[in-house]
Structure 1
């Protein structure tokens, strides 16, 4: 897909950059309180807040929930596969420019579709990453963090690092390895572990210690790989009170702290 073809389909260029107009403004496409250049406590609002547009919520999610199918219809959704990924990428950077945000973030499967094999998937991801680097260079927008989507595909029904299937564990490890390499390639400031299905529905069929041992091994491998290949960064583990499982391993920050203390991980998480 060429840039000109994309413009005939959908473009944000006629909207104009979103500006600060003050709290009295009636303009729905203006900032009423966020003034990026205003200095507070010796730093500008832009430096304090470091806004990031999340690719998934803003550009990829279709609104599907447990009660029905997706209802979010976007003009570029008429494409599929890699054409859709390329179209979405172009619109994404148009949006970043309009909002004047310094950062964006994504799951790996947000920016490129999954192929028939992991090799094909990574090849498709690499194609988008090359384009993305050019957009980042032209716009100055940086990657705040990236993460691996290890929850959407049916293979992750029983978790990723805590899965009872060794092949799923291995697939997830390879996916995180690629994610760490992606973070390094794009100059990300952070890498995030988003364990959307790490947890359990009932202890009746769960060997909790064994699953946590598996997760510990997974995290240690990831941290060791990151230390060898990328040092100027931080890793975050996202907490979420209510996820796909009845009981989540990362329910709150204290849960993550206890987990890391138990498995003896010392790293800038």
Structure 2
């Protein structure tokens, strides 16, 4: 991460410096808010400029205020002028974004790669609405170019791009869930169930990619992917493995040896 300097010959920021209408906080205040490196925090606050005063109290509620502030600087560099002011005027969005940036390095990295997705957290229904399982399924299948209404959806996005598209869409939904969880204190059971629904939808989209890789032979077998353990019990957490069993049945007129070969190929590609 790089911070934008205050101006030529003035790369550092000191407590009491004025940036436009903004007076930088003292190091003691930053320490009380939970910052571990007040010197770096001062430089980052100066880089963000006016508007950060309104965000200071919110930054202090993050699990890691230093990481949250660094993430905001990264986003500001890509989003340009007006980002901080827009965020400062929307406390709910600011809280969700800061909570994510301060709690999840993986999602902070995702936002650095896909910065426009921070606006997902400005959805006014985010704190009160849980997506249904069919919404996840349709969204992830469509991300790989598969038709959700088909009995056996097949991806149409180019193979080299399909898994990247699936990964980005999965993390978009995970970003929304993590923000709701951290900022709105969702019940643990609700989070576990939603993570399980998201994992199941991701598996189905991955299977659609596998069918595309197998080609026309994919029609020779019917596959069921059965979730086991925490996923099957709707008890996933953010770091859980997803354990599944593949069960196959030969299509009409197809021999068992052929169906086993095709099912094995599809399973290996999923």
- Same fold per TM (> 0.5)? no
| Structure 1 or 2: more strand by fraction | 1
| Structure 1 or 2: more helix by fraction | 2
